[in-house]
Structures are given as C-alpha cells and as structure tokens.
Amino acid sequence: MDRPVGSPAFSRPGLVIALAAACLAGPTMFDVARDSWSSEQGAHGPIVLLTGIWLLVRELRAAKPRPRPGNAVLTALLLLPLLIVYTLARISGIIEIEGFTMYAALIVAAYGIWGGTVLRAVWFPLVYMLFVFPPPDTLFAMLTQPLKILISQTAVTMLHGLGYPIAGSGVMIQIGQYQMLVAAACAGLNSLLSLTALGMFYTYIRHSSNFAYMLVLICFILPIAIVANLVRVLLLLLITYHFGEAAGQGFFHELAGLSMFASALLSIFVLDWLGTPLRRRLAAKGRVQ
C-alpha cells in the first residue's frame, strides 16, 4: 500500500535535512536573538518566529503539496553564492546580512529538495518570517528619514496653527524654551516593523481567501502607522511644553509610545470592520469570475 503523502518535513530524510538546517541556522538565530530581539526595533522577532512556524505547519497541512525536487542546477547556482556571502558575513559579524542570506539559503535548499509546489503553498509564512531578521541600519535610516522629516514638519505646522511658539528645521523642533530631536524612537518608527508584521499576520489569518481585500488592508498599514506616530510626536511636544522636559522624556514618553502602538493596531481592526462592504463586494466579484 502506498504511503500517504503528508508534510514533506516529517519524512526521515526531512528530519536529517531539518537537523542540518538547524546546525546552519542555530548560531545565526542566537546572535539575532541576542543583538536584535532585545531592542525596540526587533522586539517583535520572537512573536514573528513562533507565529511564522505555526503558519508554516498550518499551510502545509491544509495544502498537502506533493514534493517534487526542483532544478538541481538552479539550486546550486543560487545556493553557492549565498553560502559564500553567509560565511563572509558570519566571519565579519554583520548580523543583518548573515541573517537574510542564511534564510535565503534555507529557502533555496527547500526548493531543491521539495520543489516550487511546496514553496508556493507556504509563500506567505516565508515572506512573513523575513521580519524575524533586523534590517540593515543604514537602509532603515535611509527609508525612515523622509518619514521623520514629514512627521516633524507636520507637527510643527499643526501646533503653529494653534498658536504655540514652535519652529522646526528638519527633525529638530524648538517649542518654547525646549528643543526636541525627532529621532526614530521619538517618532515611533522603530515600531513600524512590528506594526507591519502584526498587521500582515492579522490580515492573512482573517482574509487569506480574499487576496484582493487582503492587499487593500495591508496597503493601509503604513498610513495608519504614520498617523499614529504623528499623534505621538504631538503629544510629546505638548507634554514637554506644558510640563517640562523631564515629563516629556520620562514615563509619559514610554506611555505615549505604548498607547500609539495599541491605537494603531486597533485602527487596523476598525478599518477591517468598516471595510466589510468592500470585502463582500470583492468576494462576490471573485466568485463570479
């Protein structure tokens, strides 16, 4: 009698491969956990890893794809340079490059062993688990600098319109006798990755069967995060102006960050609820087609 086809990870060769993958990934993941997960920018890492593994198993069990090895030549051509870059990054201690190349090497190896059908069945967990690894600091700074300037200038314009003695240049804001530098932490941009990851997880769990609506909801995550971070900067400026610099940099600084993150998540839920008519329309259109 033929053995039933199940998850490719549970065969004996799969266990050997999983052990080899663990030997490759173990040291890197230890460094990622030590250096990134303890910071505000990477605090979401453990949550993404656990929920990503759960999603991976869930999708494999639901789809039950039939493993078929991928192109061996293509696998070798992709895997060799990835392992070289991984080794160099490991030796140099560049954890950002090391993490992403290790992850890419594991995906290429999975393609070579189980094929593209299996990878297509778990495409979202594979994309989602990219958030486990910290982005390069220079890339993150380059991408968030325009957002910091936008948030700073908008906050200055709004408070100036309300009659506050405020002026700004770039990310530096002068309000009354106090000067405030809108860094990534102050603007809440360190939480941007966490909010994006959790928002994507929520939209996929809720609406994976309605791909068009899921994409619409995901596109709103960044605007919601920007508005929430703008409100945070406004609150910190007002607290600093009315109660002093110590209040703005102390307990209320952390409280504002936590409150804005929770509010942004809640806004995604509310937006999803408000988008129910659109979701039903897109679902009906998909059934007709």
- Which residue ranges make up each domain of the chain? 8-134, 138-288
Rounded Cα–Cα distance for residues 273 and 277 (Å): 9
Query: Which residues, including other chains, have CB under 8 Å from residue 245's CB and lie 6 or more apart?
Result: 178
Q: Does residue 4 have a pLDDT over 80?
A: no
**CA dihedral sign of residues 141, 142, 144, 146:** positive
Instruction: Give CB contacts under 8 A, 24+ apart, made by 205-213.
Output: 206/272, 207/272, 207/279, 208/124, 209/283, 210/279, 210/282, 210/283, 210/286, 212/282, 212/286, 213/275, 213/278, 213/279, 213/282, 213/283
What are the phi and psi torsion angles at 214 (to 5°)?
-60, -45
Q: How many other CB atoms are there within 10 angstroms of residue 287's CB atom?
A: 7
Query: Given 186, 219, 280, 287, which residue is catalytic?
Result: 186
Rounded Cα–Cα distance for residues 125 and 120 (Å): 10
Among 124-133, 164-173, 226-235, the range with the most confident prediction by mean pLDDT is 124-133
Rounded Cα–Cα distance for residues 153 and 254 (Å): 22
Q: What is the mean pLDDT of residues 50-72?
A: 90
Does 68 participate in catalysis according to the annotation?
no
Q: Does residue 3 have a pLDDT over 50?
A: no
Quick one: residue 64, left, alpha or beta (phi over 0 = left, psi -120 to 50 = alpha)? left
Q: Does residue 143 have a pLDDT over 60?
A: yes
pLDDT at site 5 = 44
Does 232 participate in catalysis according to the annotation?
yes
Q: Does residue 2 have a pLDDT over 60?
A: no
What is the chain's mean pLDDT, rounded?
Answer: 85
pTM: predicted TM-score of the whole model, two decimal places: 0.82
- Identify the bridge partners of residue 168 per DSSP, sorted by sequence position: 173
Task: Supply 97's token pair.
Answer: 């490059």
Q: Does residue 246 have a pLDDT over 70?
A: yes
Q: Does residue 214 have a pLDDT over 80?
A: yes
Any idea which of 79-83, 136-140, 154-158 has the lowest mean pLDDT?
136-140
pLDDT at site 1 = 43
Distances in Å between the Cα of 32 and the Cα atoms of 41, 42, 138, 161, 198 are 12, 9, 17, 45, 19
What amino acid is encoded at 279 in this protein?
Answer: R
Exposure of 53 in the CB half-sphere (CA atoms within 13 A): 7
Query: Given 23, 232, 279, 287, which residue is catalytic?
Result: 232
